[in-house]
Chains A and B, each alone.
Chain A
Amino acid sequence: MSVPLIEIIRATVGLSIQDMGRTGTTAIGLSQGGAMDKLALIEAAALLGKTQPSPAIEFMGIGGSLRVSCDVTVALTGGEMTAKVGDRLLQWNATHTLNAGDIIELSAPKSGVYGYLTPHAQLATPRVFDSQSSHVSAGVGHWLQSGDIVNGTPMALARSMKIRAIDRLGGGTVRYLAGPQTDLFSDADVNRFHATPFSASHIANRRGVKVDFEGAPFTPQNAHGIVSDIIVTGDIQMTGDGEPYVLMSECQTMGGYPRIGTVIPADLPILAQAKAGTPIRFEQITLEQADTIMADPISAATLSTRLSTLVRDPAEISDLVSYQLISGAITGYED
């Protein structure tokens, strides 16, 4: 039965419900959407002992505070936020059971951009085209506001676990495939694109991430009068001034700016989590290489080797005296 699950006490900007997004809606003009860092939802599923990811509250670069209305286990993954219940510091990349009335305070991420709180629950938020993701730029769902209440059905409380997260918060090389418009760029420019050290721009949101660089613009040849064509998530678009902009979850479905290629889905979390100034490079791979990578996708099952039981560090326990360390009431699994 659906009950009030989480109340948003303080939301500044950028809080939304996100899952793995939609498939099959390009023809109606709705892009994939879903979490910017889908790996964070897969890690949360692994932590919660689920085979498939479930909807989370996504925080875009800024924290917030939430009150849980019933006892519920939550997973904290993605960009590393400082999470506290009262004075109690909650370890990131881990699950924690919160008690009804607990208020969890989340800071802006210290590293990465997008943090996720995934309740071990079935959320009762509306499904639109088979997904509970808000796609605000398309008019689906909305940003969560202070005072909003997220309803759902809590699932059994789960043992506290932690996960060794996949390293992706510090930028790096993203791999992309050549596409239908790569030939609009000269070989020299494509080579220069691979050799250029980029850094993530402060111009970034759920639609896309711009990357900054020094040097001449990447200007396509014979691109005048080019017709608008289908866009897919991961496309690297060169805007009118020849600057690369990687299209992300809430990209448009058609556009006229030329695209040098498409970043493979496996590497999009690197771009999503790249704070302004984070180094990024682009490497073109072959279809064969992409097929090999995508044939073996990361899933909750493949992440199981990275899981371990969360044993609380006594240093993080604020009021050590109140814990009964001797009587056996503390198992080390509580949190």
Chain B
Amino acid sequence: MERPCAMTPEICTLGHDALLVRFAREASEAATACVQVMLRLIDEADLPHVTEIAPALASVMVRFPGGTDVRSLLHQHLSDLIRKTDWSTVGVPTAKRRWIIPVCFDSDAAPHLAEVAQIAGKSEATIIHDLENVDVRVLALGFAPGQPYIGLLPQEWDMPRTSTLTAEVPAGALVTAVRQLVLFANPSPTGWRQIGMSAFKPFAPETDTPILLRAGDAMQFSRASADEIARLQASGDPKGGAICQSL
């Protein structure tokens, strides 16, 4: 069940040099929409002393060099930004660009697809069809450099992490849990279920654009064959055949 979307943002201190604007403690469409809006408001306000802004799924962190006076000043600025918006009616802002990422859903590339379909109460074909048609957002980058948390998926995707860890999913794996998707940047152990495989590398440290994605980007998936993913991986292009459209 979606919680009522009356969001009451609170400002918390995080360590000695950050403030956290938190909209909720649980993931929801309303909270993710609020985060995207707040992120844009803070960015556009060009607040003094801010050294970095980072979104999570239901909060935005604002970092500054530290100090009592700067903290008070920023707290005031953030309170003003919060007050100017009616958070109960906020929707997800329009994305500035959209990525279309080739993904293979064949069984070798999607070892947990059958289980996911069963939990969601749908056929595998329907799940793949849904994934090909879903329009989701990059909610945040985290855990590893450039690695996107993507969502939120419809309610039937609200499934917990697995009780035992998968020892390793490969880099490029598309995995899901709790109405979200992650495209793994590196081979990782995970409690999320793997439902596809891409050739996309969210972090390419040796290139001019080491981080390809930004929070707020729209994302779609196009079905690709295992051969095509293998060919894209071999090509060495970190985008792995992905197309980025300006909106």
The reply to whether the CB of B25 lies closer than 8 angstroms to some CB of chain A is yes
The reply to whether the CB of A154 lies closer than 8 angstroms to some CB of chain B is no
If A227-B27, A227-B58, A230-B54 touch, does A180 touch B145 (CB 8 Å cutoff)?
A: no
> Within 8 Å CB of A290, what residues of B?
16
A20 to B238, CA, bound (A): 29
Contact B205 A139 (CB under 8 A): yes
Contact B205 A140 (CB under 8 A): yes
Q: Which of A138, A228, A252, A255 has the most CB of B within 10 A?
A: A228
A201 to B141, CA, bound (A): 31
Contact A180 B20 (CB under 8 A): yes
> Within 8 Å CB of B193, what residues of A?
none
If A24-B51, A232-B14, A291-B67 touch, does A226 touch B145 (CB 8 Å cutoff)?
A: no
A129 to B102, CA, bound (A): 29
Interface string of A203-239 (1 = CB under 8 A from B): 0000000000000000000000111111010110000
If A27-B141, A180-B14, A253-B54 touch, does A230 touch B147 (CB 8 Å cutoff)?
A: no
The reply to whether the CB of B185 lies closer than 8 angstroms to some CB of chain A is yes
Contact B57 A29 (CB under 8 A): no
Contact B59 A140 (CB under 8 A): no
A228 to B35, CA, bound (A): 13
> Within 8 Å CB of A265, what residues of B?
16
The reply to whether the CB of A262 lies closer than 8 angstroms to some CB of chain B is yes
Number of B positions contacting A (CB below 8 A): 45
Residues 139-191 (chain B) with a chain A CB within 8 angstroms: 140-147, 149, 185-186
What's the count of A-B pairs with C-beta under 8 Å?
A: 130
Q: How far is the CB of B209 from chain A (nearest CB, A)?
A: 11
> Within 8 Å CB of A252, what residues of B?
142-144
Q: How far is the CB of B71 from chain A (nearest CB, A)?
A: 8
Question: Can you add 11 more A-B contacts, CB < 8 Å, to A177-B13, A295-B67?
Answer: A24-B51, A25-B145, A26-B61, A27-B54, A29-B146, A138-B145, A179-B14, A179-B15, A254-B143, A262-B14, A291-B16
Where the two chains meet, the residues of A that have a C-beta atom closer than 8 Å to any C-beta of B are 23-30, 128-129, 137-140, 177, 179-180, 225-230, 232, 234-235, 252-255, 262, 264-265, 287-288, 290-291, 294-295
25 A–B contacts, CB within 8 A, in A order: A24-B52, A25-B52, A27-B53, A27-B55, A29-B185, A128-B205, A139-B185, A139-B205, A140-B145, A177-B13, A177-B16, A179-B12, A179-B13, A179-B15, A180-B59, A227-B25, A228-B149, A229-B20, A229-B59, A232-B18, A252-B143, A253-B54, A254-B140, A254-B149, A291-B71
